[in-house]
């Protein structure tokens, strides 16, 4: 099990919603008690699901889980806190290892009035699937999505489970401003996994969604290098012109497309200076000139 238990965090949300004020000391005390309860219940149920369910380990875990339950209930009653959070943990930890069976084929009517199959990726997640995903992450951690998807069942793949966790279910997702430590971790993960693996990057962050990571990395890149303009990515063409009509047509075509051309002043000796100045001013030319235009 991971140190930061998602099951405990969801239980703490229930406690916070029912209590108007919790001192930091009391909150830490409650969280520690709930974590002990969750660990003992998961360990007990894990042994029951194995072939060793009748040995002394199972009996020992049963005793531990009962003691943890009694202590936690006693603490909650002393503080006048509802037992809903405890019941929430008991319900989740009682889930069996048997995955949910794949649902039957679902048909929906499209705009043409014809029926078509519903893809697994388009099917909404149920409460049962979310519960199993929450427990699976608590059991297997953030890196074993094959086991997590097997535990969930219901035809959900590794990618389905990871995306659901990253974007919706993870109770540790933060909406607080990014810290320097998070920025450093984000940059390190992007260097390792690339700029097109945001779900993987987010899973390594642990408390940010893939969309948060992508947006924040864009901000960091702009702060370092400045925004990238699409116009900067287009190489300005060099226009070689010999007559005033060549200049007019070339400048008009390029400026219409939003490109500031470079000018090469070959065979320009026969032009009149006022013609060039007048034309450039009328077009409001902002392009680069490779060398000063000679005035005849």
Average pLDDT per block of 10 residues along the chain, 296 residues long:
79 89 92 94 72 61 88 95 96 92 62 56 88 94 92 93 92 92 95 93 91 94 68 44 52 49 46 49 44 44
**Euclidean distance between the first and the last CA atom of the chain, given in angstroms as a whole number:** 84
Predicted pLDDT of residue 4: 77
Q: Which stretches of 123-265 are DSSP H helices?
A: 127-140, 145-152, 158-164, 180-193, 198-205, 210-225, 244-256
Q: Rounded to whole angstroms, what are the CA distances from 236 to 14, 197, 242, 261? A: 61, 33, 19, 5
Predicted pLDDT of residue 181: 95
Measured CA angle at 225 (ends 219, 229), to 5 deg: 85
Q: Rounded to whole angstroms, what are the CA distances from 290 to 78, 120, 135, 282? A: 84, 60, 67, 20
Predicted pLDDT of residue 123: 84
CA–CA separation, 238 vs 290, rounded Å? 9
User: pTM of the full predicted structure?
Assistant: 0.65
CA–CA separation, 53 vs 174, rounded Å? 40
CA–CA separation, 39 vs 274, rounded Å? 87
By C-alpha distance, which of 264, 239, 242 is closest to 252? Answer: 239
Predicted pLDDT of residue 143: 84
CA–CA separation, 287 vs 281, rounded Å? 12
């Amino acid at each position: 099990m991971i140190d930061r238990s998602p099951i405990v965090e969801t239980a703490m949300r229930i406690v916070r919603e029912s209590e108007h004020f919790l001192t930091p000391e009391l909150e830490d005390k409650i969280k520690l008690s709930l974590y002990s309860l969750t660990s003992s219940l998961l360990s007990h149920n894990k042994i029951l699901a194995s072939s060793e369910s009748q040995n002394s380990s199972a009996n020992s875990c049963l005793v531990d889980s009962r003691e943890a339950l009694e202590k936690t209930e006693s603490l909650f009653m002393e503080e006048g806190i509802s037992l809903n959070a405890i019941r929430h943990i008991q319900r989740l930890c009682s889930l069996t290892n048997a995955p949910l069976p794949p649902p039957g084929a679902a048909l929906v009517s499209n705009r043409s009035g014809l029926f078509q199959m519903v893809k697994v990726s388009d099917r909404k997640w149920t409460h049962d699937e979310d519960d199993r995903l929450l427990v699976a992450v608590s059991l297997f951690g953030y890196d074993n999505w094959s086991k997590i998807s097997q535990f969930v069942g219901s035809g959900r793949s590794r990618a389905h489970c990871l995306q659901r966790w990253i974007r919706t279910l993870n109770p540790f997702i933060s909406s607080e401003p990014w810290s320097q430590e998070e920025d450093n971790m984000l940059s390190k993960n992007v260097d390792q996994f690339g700029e097109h693996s945001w779900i993987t990057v987010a899973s390594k962050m642990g408390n940010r969604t893939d969309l948060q990571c992508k947006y924040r990395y864009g901000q960091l890149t702009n702060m370092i290098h400045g925004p990238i303009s699409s116009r900067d990515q287009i190489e300005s063409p060099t226009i070689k012109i010999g007559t005033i009509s060549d200049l007019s047509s070339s400048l008009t075509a390029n400026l219409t497309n939003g490109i500031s051309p470079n000018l090469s002043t070959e065979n320009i000796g026969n032009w009149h200076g006022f013609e060039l100045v007048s034309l450039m001013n009328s077009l409001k030319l902002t392009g680069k000139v490779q060398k000063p235009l000679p005035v005849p």
